[in-house]
Amino acid sequence: MVGLMGVAIGVFLTAAFVGLHFSRGQKWQPKEDIVQSILAQRALTFSETTFPEPMSRAAGAVVVGASITTDSSLEETVSAIDDSSQHSPQNISDSDAKVFKIEYVKEGISLEVRENQTLLEAGEEQGWDIPYACREGQCLSCGGKITNGPASDFVFHDGQEMLSSDELDSGYTLTCVAYPISGLRLETSESP
């Protein structure tokens, strides 16, 4: 009797196993791939670009910001960047550039510096070893201090990203991106 029951149980279990093995069940269906749709939307929103170099962080921020703006506002922003780069003092020809008297206090010399020339470049032309690193307004290595007053009254910073308004008001400048708009007295190698 026990042997018969064992055989019956064995047959039942075998049949159940075979049934489960060959049953198909319901295949799992993934939900819509949200990541792919986001990537597709981003691809439509802004065109291919290379990742901005460190010196182009401002432009990079605009491109990233553009992913959540409309196409027309992106065009306006890009055009504003183009305008500002066209108005850079670097684009003024030497013949058209005004010249300002800059007193380099520590060096004990006054130079005639063109408005399309940075305070750093003018010093380097004299062979002075003025410190610098990035030459893009993104560190403090080339820092100097204008002793006449707020920096914005005496230089145009073409892209400085390091000095606060208080520091600028105190006369601090980044000489690698500082173009004179007036005569001034400069102490090189000074940082806030």
**Spatial contact of 132 and 124, defined as CB atoms under 8 Å apart:** no
The residue among 116 and 160 lying less far from ligand FES, judged by its C-beta, is 160
Whole-angstrom Cα Rg for the chain:
34
Minimum CB separation from ligand FES for residue 167, in Å? 13
Instruction: Put residue 108 in one of left, alpha, beta given phi > 0 → left and psi -120 to 50 → alpha.
Output: left
Minimum CB separation from ligand FES for residue 135, in Å? 5
Q: Which residues bind ligand FES (CB under 6 A)?
A: 132-135, 137-139, 141-142, 174, 176
**83: which 2 tokens?**
């305008």
Q: What dihedral angle (degrees, nearest 10) is formed by the CA atoms of 184, 189, 190, 192? A: 130
**Exposure on the CB side of residue 50, measured as CA atoms within 13 A:** 4
**Spatial contact of 142 and 131, defined as CB atoms under 8 Å apart:** yes
Minimum CB separation from ligand FES for residue 119, in Å? 10
Minimum CB separation from ligand FES for residue 109, in Å? 21
Minimum CB separation from ligand FES for residue 142, in Å? 3
* CA dihedral over 176, 178, 184, 187, signed as positive or negative: negative
**Which among 8, 25, 2, 182 is positioned nearest to 101, based on CA atoms?**
182
Minimum CB separation from ligand FES for residue 148, in Å? 20
